[in-house]
Chains A and B, each alone.
Chain A
Amino acid sequence: MEENQKSRFVVTEENWSLHRKGHQDQQRHLDKINEVLKSNLPDLISEENIILSNGKDMVKIPIRSLDEFKIRYNHDKSKHVGQGEGDSAVGDVVAQGEKKAQPGEGKEAGDQPGQDIYETEVSIEELEEMFFKELELPDLEQKEQSVTTIEDIDFTDIRKKGLIGNIDKKRTLLSAIKRNAMKGKAEVAPILGDDLRFKTWNPVEKPQSKAVVIAMMDTSGSMGKFEKYMARSFFFWMTKFLRTKYETVEIEFIAHHTEAKVVSEENFFNKGESGGTRCSSAYSKALEVIKESYPPTRYNIYPVHFSDGENMTSDNKKCLEHVDELLAISNMFGYAEVNEHRRMSTLMSAYKSIEHPKFNYYILQKNRDVYFALKKFFEKRTEGLR
């Protein structure tokens, strides 16, 4: 009987530290979210609310495939049972209905088929990280002894004099203990001025390749709302990408119609002009800028031109000449054309004959093409492949 009693229960405490299943599957779920985000990147990056968000906010991103779908009842149309405190009456409000999708974990909204959306919140930073991982400045070369350095400071030295803010407490205490110990006292106090130790820095200089991106945008009258939006979102992501990844990349903005001007970044993005188009004006401006301040011996040069392709036919020849000149001194020349209907534009008909490894073009038809254009120009290339 007693033995029987004893074997009635067992208490154990195993070592569970190797049991990682929950964490692994959690990771799989997060990976799936990232997969969905990634496959939606082309749509996501041309979302207006991202481009207008100034890069600070979180954005809500719909994920359509991560709910666990079941055959279930329509919650909003069914009745439920609840429990009051003893004084409930018909008509009492029990809870507020959901207005729309809530922030956070995600919620499905809408009872229209195909409109249910599982939303997740992603910081723009995360999106950038995902996106920019795929991009780089192609064929970046080490140019001749450049003045460019990343100034960095390294705290490598300890000195007896220094700024009080940089005091090294540990070493100060140690030297005080040592000094006191030499006098036979096992104490910290007193700490004298002589015990103080300060961390001191040395400036570090690292040479880095210099690069300049020349952003040229057509602002002529033929550039409609859509064309402008595409150009803007392209340059928005391009500048963001360059500034995130490269500390020493300079960007020059040139806006042109029949004449070209170097403009500030702000003006570049908010410019509304009209008139005809002479693309060669932008190119000659670019050449001029390069000549003035970006010698090709010291700079990697990347001209990128955005247009709708409506150029004066008489100007085409000049354009080709300039492009050739630019190609000779650039690492890559990018031409992006916003062309909703894929008609053969005047400029494109001239450019399609260019066969130069550094010449890249992309024709954008839809919002999502912004992504592909960026990828085409700044795609990360595996070494040795080109």
Chain B
Amino acid sequence: MRYEICPADILYTFGAYGMPTRFTHWSFGKQFHKMKLQYDIGLSKIYELVINSNPCYAFLLNTNSLIQNKLIIAHVLAHCDFFKNNIYFSKTRKDMVESMAATAERIADYEVRYGKKCVETFLDAVLAIQEHVDPSMMRDIIPAPFIVQQPRRSAYEDLWDLDQRTIPGQQAIEMHKKNPKEQEKDILLFILENSRNLTEWQSDILTMLREEMLYFWPQLETKIMNEGWASYWHQTILRQMDLTPSETIEFAKLNASVLQPSKTSINPYYLGVKMYEDIEKRYDVLAKEATSRGEEAMTGREKIFEAREIENDTSFIRNYLTDDLIKQEDLYVFQKQEDQYKVSDKQTDAVRNQLIGQRVNGGFPYIVVDDGDYMRNGELYLIHRYEDTELDLPYLEHVLPHIHQLWGRIVHIETILENKPLVFSYDGHKVFRRSK
């Protein structure tokens, strides 16, 4: 663990960029401005920032009091534990601080060579669809250069490979087959491999930004678990410490502000803590019963360690958010009805499913590439896998030109509006919509 003490504007810079060494872009500046403004007028405060690396970095605000730092250090240590032990983080690069610094340097170099404006326009386009990667591929496919060649057992072994060689005719047929063969979730990768419009430096930036997204992705998928885990441990550790009365009050104040539930959203810190506490309690009861029968069973503590290792937010909620807990915490589904947001459902199933639905794919709409040669004209055909939530159409219409910029030809996207399939297309001048 490496702690770095820094002033507010630096901490907020890191908060906005997600990483101290990240490349420069106006959207980060916009974010920074917003966050810093909220800090300056006392609306919100960031106390720390943790980076998933080896060793883990934690940035602490230089105005934190001693007791605040005690809480924060307990909190960041648990984050660090989560990064090191949760399965979804197992493939994230631990040298991302350096890697991002290298990326930033290369992008800065491209800015010098090809012009700031030019690079910025390209970054705008990539950032618009940066979430559309496929994190699962990271687990299956090892990049080709890293596949270790098995040493040959005999001099003629390569002859066996001939059997697996593709027959020339077959390859020709393959050419006319659809690309991608199966729908492709990783739009960035598909564009990278198939776009005829990218120059070398653009492909380079696209590759690097995709890497960064894959690195951030597990954090998007484990928000409730990760924050809950960190908050569970700062609570548990601080409660065991010998605090003076005034320290206890300061701790309680800070803890309460972190764990404050909200009427209009889910506080991941709060829900996470409640779920871990609930699991621990329930499994302790079960373990007690088991030992009374002379059997062996996991204690509650052991169970939460297991959960933090193998779950992500969707599976965590699916497996551990019980009906009782939903009722106890008074969770509900709400939606806009005319001008007001109203509670629309309190059924536990509805709440659980809604919560899971919100966490699927990190909370982003699930889009796949269906065809990279649509109409036999090299057009890109995307499909939104609709699951009862419509897309923000004005936003969609603004994203299409960005994709067009990367793809270089007409781009289509199919989605569902009011239960009817609808296709949006952009030809470089105008967005068209037609029903399918």
Task: Show the binding face of A for B, using Cβ within 8 Å.
Answer: 8-14, 16, 19, 21-30, 32, 66-97, 99, 105, 108, 110-116
Given contacts A24-B24, A88-B343, A91-B342, A11 and B262 within 8 Å (CB-CB): no
Given contacts A71-B132, A71-B391, A77-B389, A92 and B342 within 8 Å (CB-CB): yes
Q: Is B251 an interface residue (CB 8 A)?
A: no
How far is B127's CA from A21's CA once the two chains are assembled, in angstroms?
A: 19
Q: List 8 A-B contacts (CB under 8 A).
A: A25-B25, A29-B29, A70-B128, A70-B364, A74-B389, A74-B393, A82-B343, A90-B332
Contact of B334 among A11, A82, A112 (CB under 8 A): A82
A83 touches B389 (CB 8 A): no
B262 touches A82 (CB 8 A): yes
Q: Is B75 an interface residue (CB 8 A)?
A: no
How far is B31's CA from A331's CA once the two chains are assembled, in angstroms?
A: 50
A88 touches B399 (CB 8 A): no
Contact of A113 among B6, B62, B131, B397 (CB under 8 A): B397
Q: Which 7 A-B pairs have CB atoms at the shortest separation, nearest pair first?
A: A25-B29, A22-B13, A116-B394, A69-B398, A26-B29, A84-B330, A22-B32
Q: Is B47 an interface residue (CB 8 A)?
A: no
- The chain A residue sitting closest to B36, CB to CB, is A22
Q: Is B336 an interface residue (CB 8 A)?
A: yes
Tell me, rounded to whole Å, the shortest Cβ–Cβ distance linking B123 to chain A.
Answer: 11
How far is B127's CA from A79's CA once the two chains are assembled, in angstroms?
A: 26
Tell me, rounded to whole Å, the shortest Cβ–Cβ distance linking A229 to chain B.
Answer: 31
Given contacts A80-B335, A84-B330, A72 and B24 within 8 Å (CB-CB): no
- Residues of the B chain whose Cβ atoms lie less than 8 Å from the Cβ of A75: 392
- Residues of the A chain whose Cβ atoms lie less than 8 Å from the Cβ of B266: 81-83
How far is B341's CA from A78's CA once the two chains are assembled, in angstroms?
A: 11
How far is B2's CA from A94's CA once the two chains are assembled, in angstroms?
A: 42
Given contacts A13-B6, A79-B344, A69 and B24 within 8 Å (CB-CB): no
Contact of B394 among A10, A23, A94, A108 (CB under 8 A): A108
How far is B362's CA from A72's CA once the two chains are assembled, in angstroms?
A: 12
Given contacts A8-B1, A73-B365, A75-B392, A28 and B29 within 8 Å (CB-CB): yes
How far is B358's CA from A317's CA once the two chains are assembled, in angstroms?
A: 77
B263 touches A94 (CB 8 A): yes
Known: A13-B5, A81-B354, A95-B340. 8 other contacts (CB 8 A): A11-B3, A22-B36, A25-B25, A83-B263, A87-B330, A90-B344, A113-B394, A114-B394
B365 touches A71 (CB 8 A): yes
Given contacts A71-B365, A78-B390, A83 and B262 within 8 Å (CB-CB): yes
How far is B321's CA from A95's CA once the two chains are assembled, in angstroms?
A: 25
Contact of A90 among B62, B132, B345, B395 (CB under 8 A): B345
B345 touches A13 (CB 8 A): no
- Residues of the A chain whose Cβ atoms lie less than 8 Å from the Cβ of B389: 73-74, 77-79
A68 touches B335 (CB 8 A): no
Given contacts A11-B3, A96-B341, A97-B340, A83 and B261 within 8 Å (CB-CB): yes
How far is B387's CA from A79's CA once the two chains are assembled, in angstroms?
A: 12
- The chain A residue sitting closest to B14, CB to CB, is A22
B394 touches A22 (CB 8 A): no
- Residues of the B chain whose Cβ atoms lie less than 8 Å from the Cβ of A81: 265-266, 331-334, 351, 354-355, 358
B131 touches A105 (CB 8 A): no
How far is B338's CA from A99's CA once the two chains are assembled, in angstroms?
A: 10
- The chain A residue sitting closest to B130, CB to CB, is A70
Contact of A29 among B33, B335, B336 (CB under 8 A): B33
Tell me, rounded to whole Å, the shortest Cβ–Cβ distance linking A342 to chain B.
Answer: 27
Q: Is B339 an interface residue (CB 8 A)?
A: yes
Given contacts A23-B9, A82-B266, A71 and B399 within 8 Å (CB-CB): yes
- The chain B residue sitting closest to A19, CB to CB, is B10
